[in-house]
Amino acid sequence: MRYSASHKQETRERLLQSSAVSAKKEGFSTVGVDGLMKAIGLSGGAFYSHFSSKDELFGSIVERELSQSLERLGADGEQSRMRLERCLKHYLNMAHLESPETGCALPTLGAEISRADEGVRQQAEEWICRLQQSWARTLGSDSLAWSILSQCVGALVVARMLVSPDIQRQVLKSSHDEIVRQLPTQDVQ
């Protein structure tokens, strides 16, 4: 039985969504093709009608996840200090820390992206630079935008490595407070 093009696209989207959740929760390299397909109720053999390799799937996950992060964190033209502060508050909180599968891909997949092939790393670089440029326009500083982006990702990584929720909260709150202290007092744009 042949499936319609829309059915194939819907299956691909389900596979991307399910694989992204799995990758952010457990790591991409830990799950095989059969496991990824089983999660959406299909056999491993069906995978290759959607992606030529697991590496291609990973590249698609990185692109999808980072484009969503860009959408959430800043490239809609409505960027302001207040909006940036709201993003920081949402990003550096316990709900985000406790739900890696629904959050930003950078803290969860960063190490795997750094070990991926050059094409995946180039794709990640493009999306990260777009986010940094958006924040730089708001902040009036390229270096401050890079610093804040790095601090946010790093704070989440460090907090997730810790066991005690009190210390995790302290890491997130301290990071948030220090970042907000660095922000210009008014919008630059």
- Per-residue pLDDT of 86-116, as tens digits, reads 889 999 999 999 999 999 999 999 999 999 9
Q: Minimal CA–CA distance to 15: which of 7, 4, 3? A: 7
Q: Is the sign of the CA dihedral 186, 173, 151, 71 positive or negative?
A: negative
Token readout for 99 is 């739900």
In a domain, 187, yes or no: no
Find all residues with CB under 8 Å of 114, minimum gap 6, and list them: 121
Write out the residue range of the structural domain in which residue 117 sits: 5-182
Token readout for 138 is 């708001």
pTM for the structure as a whole? 0.84
pLDDT tens by residue, 39-80: 888 877 788 888 888 889 899 999 998 888 878 776 554 557
In a domain, 188, yes or no: no
**What's the CATH code of the domain at 63?**
1.10.357.10
Is 87 within 8 Å of 74 (Cβ atoms)?
A: yes
In a domain, 11, yes or no: yes
Percent of the chain's residues with pLDDT above 70: 93
What DSSP state is assigned to residue 183? S
In a domain, 68, yes or no: yes
In a domain, 189, yes or no: no
- Give residue 161's Cα distance to chain centre: 17
DSSP H or E run through 162: none
Q: DSSP 3-state assignment of 40?
A: coil
In a domain, 32, yes or no: yes
Q: Using alpha carbons only, give the angle 149, 164, 170 rounded to the nearest 5 degrees.
A: 45
In a domain, 159, yes or no: yes
In a domain, 100, yes or no: yes
Looking at the structure of the chain, the number of domains it has is 1
